[in-house]
Structure 1
């Protein structure tokens, strides 16, 4: 059976070139004209570009998201009469590099020594090793599992909190997210990789943030809606020993007048912790396309009701 593919990305030409190199039998890659939206039965799309066009895709049967986060496609008012898959398995190493790059720089006081260098000062500090420290991961999916594996390399104790509380590889302990308050007071480092769902919204509320110890480091790597950013900004100003490294926000770009910009103990990055490399995304699609054409279960299926 012949299939028609619609590309909805910010770099259609690049993806068209990569897909063409695979010479996929029975797949026609359509152009960017409006009629392609109604013709295509398969969409290869960025969720925010696909969401407003969903109701025009009368032949849509399967969509391969180019992102891990698909909350723009899983809302209760969006159609759900097609198969949706996302990207997993490629972000773990990138997220791990991001987290441990910043965490090690903090633990080893890189900024302090760089500042001392400007004044030609030779003042050894007292850094702390990661060995024996606790890492609390909100979420235990593929990204969190890779971070947990890296943390074990550094000798950390890793606790994970998830919806189910099911044990996962590389975690010393896993519990349900509803017990979050029990774990925050002893967290050396806490990182959220949670998706955006109704259940995860404002998980790190003002009340929960207040439970964090004075010298903890907080990472938000998953979705902005899990965190009360206003409350965090106020707390960081009152607790200068706390630190936050934030890559995702409810509003992106982050509003220029938000007080978090002025917190000296916050690091803000523009959603760059784990970019999707086109070659890797195409590999995921190609594997799924072969499964689709042989009527086998696809990888990385999204549950519309769970939102991930």
Structure 2
């Protein structure tokens, strides 16, 4: 066990809250420093860290407060320490986002909200979620949680991953290799992308792949570069995609001139499908810190070469 102090530098959007939570946690041999050159641990938002990483000359471990670290990875060419992210806390939020919009869409809740303002009484036929097929790109912790959640509403979850092999105790009814994506999409009523940002996933949902869809609801809650902009607009206009719910974009915030704003059958949300609640992040960090302090392997280590 190490008996010397580890200096932690905070670089988040909510430093005061993180500092308060860390003080409450009273982690042994941990001190918060305001001097980057003295820090051995960095707890940070990846976009913020990417801009200042060169200030930290003695960093041995970077704990991201997000699952996605693609903003930071390109800046770590000479970093010899370990990078970890947060996992296991976003499945519930993503499930709420996807199912909330699915229910709203199929049950026409927006329609009735508008009717109420017009003092109109006009029932509209709706669809149940029962028997719908949801194709989930990515079978990791978020995709698996979502699959398990939708099964309770009699939706059939179909997974797509890099191996085509289902995980142990997989919640998916079937699992396809990413090269079999179009076979999966042809079956879909709902498509949800949860994939990380890698060269293999760049523009994976383009005009060619989306042409295999038929009136699907499409959700992007993974990374913005998974969707090819022109391909999605084409699919929305020709009916392959009935409605798209897009939470992540290649450039954020989305430019005011972006064509998505004017697309009636596309819903834009400002990267809020799942956020990092500081309480949950600190719980993960505290567990990892004890491992770090006691010389054990860290959890959720990111392979910088893969980007996840």
* C-alpha separation in 1, matches of 2:230 and 2:253: 16
Post-superposition offset of 1:76: 8.0
Secondary structure at 1:75 match in 2: helix
Post-superposition offset of 1:295: 1.1
The change in CA–CA distance for 1:241 and 1:7 in structure 2 (over 3 A counts) is closer
- Measured against aligned partners, the alpha-carbon deviations of 1:163-185 in whole angstroms (never above 9, x if no partner) come to 12231321111121111111212
In structure 1, the partner of 2:188 is 187
In structure 1, the partner of 2:261 is 261
The change in CA–CA distance for 1:42 and 1:76 in structure 2 (over 3 A counts) is closer
List aligned pairs for 1:80-229, cutoff 5 A. 80-168=79-167, 169-213=170-214, 215-229=215-229
* C-alpha separation in 2, matches of 1:3 and 1:103: 47
* C-alpha separation in 1, matches of 2:51 and 2:263: 36
RMSD: 1.6
- Measured against aligned partners, the alpha-carbon deviations of 1:117-173 in whole angstroms (never above 9, x if no partner) come to 233333222211111110000001111111101110011111111112231321111
In structure 2, the partner of 1:54 is 53
The change in CA–CA distance for 1:77 and 1:296 in structure 2 (over 3 A counts) is closer
Post-superposition offset of 1:48: 0.9
In structure 2, the partner of 1:277 is 277
The change in CA–CA distance for 1:75 and 1:199 in structure 2 (over 3 A counts) is farther
For structure 1, the residue ranges without an aligned partner over 5 or more in a row are none
Q: Scaled by the length of structure 2, what TM-score is found?
A: 0.94
Secondary structure at 1:179 match in 2: helix
Q: Scaled by the length of structure 1, what TM-score is found?
A: 0.94
In structure 1, the partner of 2:304 is 304
